[in-house]
Amino acid sequence: MLCTASLFSQTKKDTLFQAEKDTLAVSKIDSLQVAKDTINTAFFSDKDLQTIDSLLVLEKFNSSLIDTLEYVLNDIDIVGKTNTTLTTALLKSRLADLNEKTPFNLAYNPSLENVINSYLLHRKRYYPALMAKAKYYFPMFEQYLDAYDIPLEMKYLAIVESALRPKAKSGVGATGLWQFMYATGKQFGLKVSSYVDERQDPVKATVAACKYLSQLFTIFGDWDLALAAYNSGPGNVRKAIKRSGGYKNYWNIRPFLPRETASYVPAFYATMYIFEYANAHNLYTEVPAYFHFETDTIQIKRTVSFDQISEKIDVDAEVVKTLNPSYKLEIIPFVKDRNYAVRLPTNKIVTFLDQETAIYALADEDAAKREKPLPKYFEMDKRIRYKVKSGDYLGKIAQKFGVRIRDLKQWNRLKNNQLKIGQRLSIYPKKI
């Protein structure tokens, strides 16, 4: 952390760092303490420092490398926080109302109150953009949650997991909106290749998440425990139940869960509360670039890049990239029996069909321009191994096989024209 004005009192310094810690859901407290200790010279004003902090939070919140748990606040990060944005009585009333509408056990708890207040105090500016993303993803989530008989409120889990960023990756490799590890994703049918990561496909990953959540509910018979198991695995939840003495209410087993899981379900509850009572806290969504119903897919018939599609149908390549996050290299491969498709704004689907031949022709043209392997290096079936005899020299051998001396030297990495009797040469002859 950079230095600030010496005019800061110690109280202001402590308040600044507590706010920064809450905002970023800091797990690396030691490094922050070091940063705090360095604030001792007069380089920046209060306003400058606030700007720096704001940019830092913005980067952490929007970074494609953000760890899943950075959205989640651990208890240690909010202990001692006294600032509130709503009274305890009002929160209890609203949580009771929400609890009537959902199969989750949405009961008041001081830890939950701290999380809600911290989110509203330090993350409020980021919710309008997050709500705009929700306008795009939530209708699609709800469609599949309903099909699998999962509470529609489970859509908020994707916010806790990834902040609705389909390319989000955690430090341990969990990927996508629903943060599937490679093995778990594969178990639920999500394929990963050099071109495609289906964990980043919003629709396919949502279906996989529904299957997994349904399986977890079958095991525990409780949606709160299913949430905890989604984060830490069913084994850890079973252990917590046993260590608690057999309790099966989330709050009763919470002390026996891994630390990140203990904070995970409250983060889900807090997110649900904030979205359900957004207007009451003067939170209003930004206008989304697209709604999901304003897009559609069309199957491709040849390997094609985002740029080639963009060029022929007059749509920004960034739009194609945003709508197709599962393609890792911005290329849609054509693979037999895989049926890969491109998602486009609905008003561009007809244009794509009209320009389909031209798009594939452009792809062929670009492919033809790429440097190709030279046949003389790759026609291995024509290569011969020649043994140098007495009286041989490069010119004689080159003439015999219809090749050039410089080619002979290049094929065999010869630095000069000298040969040894019995030496073996690789030759790609034009005549034998």
Query: pLDDT digit string (tens) for 228-254?
Result: 999 889 999 999 999 999 999 998 999
What CATH class has 88-281? mainly alpha
pLDDT of residue 59: 46
* Residue type present at position 53: D
If phi over 0 gives left and psi between -120 and 50 gives alpha, with beta otherwise, what is residue 402?
left
215-231 pLDDT, tens digit each: 999 999 999 999 999 98
What is the total residue count of the chain?
432
Lowest mean pLDDT among 332-341, 369-378, 403-412: 369-378
Q: pLDDT at position 377, please?
A: 56
Homologous superfamily assigned to 375-427: LysM domain (3.10.350.10)
List pLDDT tens digits, range 257-291. 988 888 889 999 999 999 999 999 999 999 888 89
Which residue, 391, 426, 393, is CA-closest to 408? 426
Say if 88-281 and 375-427 have the same CATH topology.
no
pLDDT band at 160 (very low <50, low <70, confident <90, very high): very high
Q: pLDDT tens, 410-425? A: 889 998 888 999 999 9
Distance of CA 182 to the CA centre of its chain: 13
| Mean pLDDT estimate for the chain | 82
pLDDT at 207 over 50: yes
Task: Give 334-354 pLDDT, tens digit per residue.
Answer: 988 888 999 999 999 999 999
Percent of the chain with pLDDT over 70: 78
Q: Which of 161, 198, 276, 330 is catalytic?
A: 161
Residue 356 annotated to the active site: no
Boundaries of every domain in the chain: 10-62, 88-281, 292-369, 375-427
**CB-based contact 334:301 (threshold 8 Å):** yes
Q: 83 pLDDT band (50/70/90 cuts)? A: low
Q: What is the bridge-based pairing of β-strands 341-345 and 295-299? A: antiparallel
